[in-house]
A and B are shown apart, each in its own frame.
Chain A
């Protein structure tokens, strides 16, 4: 493999993939979270404000999903193929729910009847919750490992083996984290009645997330040893969980002072830290084989050819900054508190 600034191409792509996955989780995470807490927001006015808080950005956030899919396909075709065909049901559910949710957001405010808005409210919220759970379960299965045979193919042909204790835990943890992340985003973007109610929702989702995360941590230590090996072997890496705990502890501290902006930055940090710990735990594997670790798809044996990675790196170096600038521009343009007007959802 050729190198670029001292790192091999496939390491670069591992890092880039991690970056776009993290970017996607941070961005779509808060709008999925806003959807997940949607039914707990009380009256219609609050719900309307909440939907409009994500209005200008939710579809832009999904650009990161497109990029994630493209990067995975281009840089690690075998991983893309094995993962997507192996976790068929949760991924298909996730895709259907993306569309269903978009439909709900668009339809919701178009007719004045109460039953109409309530139906779409429920649709929007349920779709968001399923999206969070499905994403978390996919992640859980990736972290725990999959039954991959010597050909790099998924072996068990059962429809529901993606549901297991660990993936349920990661699903619920993801849901809790997104709810918290979304509630903090609303704290940043709203005022008035909804703003005053957020304290309780944030408290509940914090407790929910911490309980789920603790259970997940214990389960990992007891039953998924291969994830903790890296950190055990290299003691300096222990700073990662420390950073995670500090970031998490900072959230209630900032919320009590109503510094929702800083709290949101902290929850962004929590998402990033969790994904970094996951990536470190897997490294150099991308899909760990539960049959025999030797069958695992790693960033060395499952990457595209050197030539292809080089071409792609050139493309990425040009395009990634552009995407980042655009995202920043949109968020800057729509900074500040939400105001409802005749163009709102």
Chain B
């Protein structure tokens, strides 16, 4: 195994693990706003308990997101030093803005959220909840902007020659609003809403099955179901816009999504299939001319295929990109079906009458998670062999000073420590879920400290 493949595996592993948590934070943030808003509006104790319970779970998820996020921030420099030099002017400012703005907002208000129930007024607390929710979304803004710049660079100029070549920022707002950032950001944020909503649905479906905490579980389930219905439908539009953007800005990636090889022919849309890269054929169930219709709204316009590009400028793993992309789309459709079906039952007043449906919701927590992961895999593997699209290849982005052994060593270390971290997460989450949304006392969550004067004498 050479350094490049190890470094890519390490990045994929650490970022995939990290990406379990931020979407949950973003999704839970929105649901917390709704829950606490209901509490302020109705003054009912059940909404208060509900909010307090989910704040605790939010804090756990946020903590792990931060710890794994620090690793990502350092990994650009350790494993991808050439990349860091090349894009530092642009990527660095987006990352620093995230650290300073989003992160400070989120961490700052989180303290109030957790320990301020008895210290600040309900309205101030609600404002803090909004602050935390928006802080977590701003994080996504800066990170997706940075990644979108890799996909569709804008607002920069290239200076220097050879090894010293790098991108320099010329227009901050053109960099922020590069051709793909708005489409991709909306797609990512809605995906995060789904992740959060389905976690809340899962936990409350479990309570309903067990017959526990019903007076809190049922309204919480309904709140999350509303978010799930709206988000899953909205995801259709953001997904379509993102795909349109890919067709326009990254035609090789789009061709890989659908396994479309001919240089310029009308393209089909596959429901599922298998790409044979050698024979350049796809076996599967397809809608003839579907892709052409989706992109151009007609049945005659040709779509650029993979053969239109040099062999060293198309993704190496076409079938993997195809499978990840199709799995994401399939799960998206499934989530729409599931949410709308539950919504229909709710409308008929039969939502909680089917135990099997509750079991489906208990396990459905994994669906948005998988869709988020494979969506990123498709986006990033579809971008290959480029790390910055059309400008810098992944193989040229590595650290020159790092050996394969070093990467392997740290990969093994991270594998074990993340395994431990994941076990801890499941253990604590389970503990909190079993304990349920009742706390005996209105207490602060951290060691209680007597307010005395610091002993300076």
Residues of chain A at the chain B interface (Cβ within 8 Å): 52, 55-56, 59-60, 62-63, 65-67, 69-78, 80-86, 88-89, 91-93, 95-96, 98-100, 102-103, 106-107, 110, 151-155, 157, 159, 188, 259-262, 304-305, 307-308, 311-312, 315-316, 318-320, 322-323, 325-326, 329-330, 333-345
Task: Contact check, A81 vs B447: say whether CB atoms are below 8 A apart.
Answer: no
Give the secondary structure class of A's interface.
helix
- Which residue of A is nearest B99, CB measured? A70
Contact partners of B170 in chain A: CB under 8 A: 307
Q: Give the complex CA separation of A288 and B71 in angstroms.
A: 26
Interface residue from A55, A96, A311 paired with B446 (Cβ < 8 Å): A55
Task: Contact check, A66 vs B66: say whether CB atoms are below 8 A apart.
Answer: yes
Assess A73 versus B401: contact at CB under 8 Å? Given A56-B446, A60-B111. no
Q: Can you name 10 A-B residue pairings with CB atoms under 8 Å?
A: A62-B67, A70-B100, A77-B88, A81-B82, A103-B417, A157-B403, A259-B456, A316-B100, A335-B449, A336-B449
Q: How many A-B pairs with Cβ below 8 Å?
A: 262
Q: What 8 pairs between A and B have smallest CB-CB spacing?
A: A77-B88, A84-B77, A74-B92, A85-B399, A319-B100, A70-B99, A154-B401, A81-B81
A-binding segment of B45-53, B253-261, B324-332, B404-412: B404-412
Contact partners of A82 in chain B: CB under 8 A: 81, 401
Task: Contact check, A308 vs B445: say whether CB atoms are below 8 A apart.
Answer: no
Give the secondary structure class of B's interface.
helix
Interface hits, B50-103 → A, CB 8 Å: 63, 66-71, 73-74, 76-79, 81-82, 84-85, 87-93, 95-101, 103
Task: Contact check, A336 vs B95: say whether CB atoms are below 8 A apart.
Answer: no
Task: Contact check, B101 vs A74: say whether CB atoms are below 8 A apart.
Answer: no
Task: Contact check, B74 vs A84: say whether CB atoms are below 8 A apart.
Answer: yes
Task: Contact check, B92 vs A99: say whether CB atoms are below 8 A apart.
Answer: no
Task: Contact check, A56 vs B447: say whether CB atoms are below 8 A apart.
Answer: yes
Q: Give the complex CA separation of A73 and B83 in angstroms.
A: 11
Task: Contact check, A95 vs B455: say whether CB atoms are below 8 A apart.
Answer: no
Task: Contact check, B454 vs A335: say whether CB atoms are below 8 A apart.
Answer: yes
- Which residue of B is nearest A66, CB measured? B99
Separation in Å of the A110 CB from the closest CB of chain B?
8
Contact partners of A76 in chain B: CB under 8 A: 88
Contact partners of B82 in chain A: CB under 8 A: 81
Interface hits, B103-161 → A, CB 8 Å: 103-105, 107-108, 111, 115, 119
**B353 an interface residue at 8 Å Cβ cutoff?**
no
- Which residue of B is nearest A97, CB measured? B417
Contact partners of A311 in chain B: CB under 8 A: 93, 169, 172
- Other contacts beyond A82-B81, A304-B89: 20, CB < 8 A: A70-B96, A73-B73, A77-B88, A83-B77, A88-B401, A88-B406, A92-B78, A99-B421, A100-B417, A103-B424, A106-B424, A259-B455, A261-B454, A315-B96, A316-B100, A322-B105, A336-B454, A341-B447, A343-B443, A343-B445
